[in-house]
Amino acid sequence: MVIAGLQKTTLLDYPGKVACTIFTAGCNFSCPFCQNWEIITGKGEDISKDSILGFLKKRKGILDGVCVTGGEPLVNADIEEFLSAIKDLGYSVKLDTNGSFPEKLISLAQKKLIDTVAMDVKNSPSRYAETAGSDTDISKIDESIKFLLSDAVDYELRTTVVDELHDESSMLELAGWIKGAKRYYLQNFKDSENVRFGNLSPCSDEKLIRFTEIMRPFVPSVKIRGEN
């Protein structure tokens, strides 16, 4: 496992917890709107696991949660060992994932190595490959969604919406796919110098509101991230 970054304190990444965020390198997707492409391609830092665990030992009593994100953490063969070491220190663990490794996700939840999951649902099935930037086994994504909807572990689903990639039709299809989700967030794309590919735009406020209206009959808890 390559650990490409550490945010030592966050009140946002793990709601309800004073946490740190660990960024793992590598991802099996190539989303054109990704803000972390340098991490994905291994251009970030290379922090040893021992260094991270040492930091967490020192911060016991100050931090109470650890968010493990990426990239895609589940591409790493040693993710279970790493999360087990974090749990042994007494921390609550939040995992950010793209949902393409359902077997690993389910195993980690069953072994109680993760306390909550934030899964990025990129788009409707018909536009998934386009949005993920790579061929995608939709059955794997579907398996992860169904597992989370079973409430076997605490979770949220979220979608980063991009004007060129999301429309009313795709959001309606997506809504039916995740029907009944207990927490679902739309988060608007933000252009920056960190975005891997250009020529993408955020959605207008009107479009975001329209998306929530489309989603709400299927997912009553839908919210726009950043709003109260």
| Token code pair at residue 120 | 């990025």
**Domains, the chain, with CATH or none:** 3-224 (3.20.20.70)
pTM beyond 0.85: the answer is yes
Name the residue with higher pLDDT: 34 or 103.
103
pLDDT at position 228 is 39
Name the residue with higher pLDDT: 2 or 19.
19
Rounded to a whole number of angstroms, the CA Rg of the chain reads: 17
Helix, strand, or coil here: 53? Answer: helix
Work out the mean pLDDT of the chain and round it to a whole number: 94
Residue 70 is classified by DSSP as S
CA–CA separation, 113 vs 224, rounded Å?
29
Amino acid at position 2, single letter: V
Q: Rounded to whole angstroms, what are the CA distances from 216 to 73, 174, 211, 212?
A: 30, 12, 9, 6
Residue 40, pLDDT > 90, answer: no
pLDDT at position 195 is 78
Label residue 191 by pLDDT band (50, 70, 90). Answer: confident
Can you tell me which residue has the tokens 């009313």? 168
CA–CA separation, 127 vs 60, rounded Å?
43
Lowest mean per-residue pLDDT among 3-17, 18-32, 94-108, 188-202: 188-202
pLDDT in tens, 116-158: 999 999 999 999 999 999 999 999 999 999 999 999 999 999 9
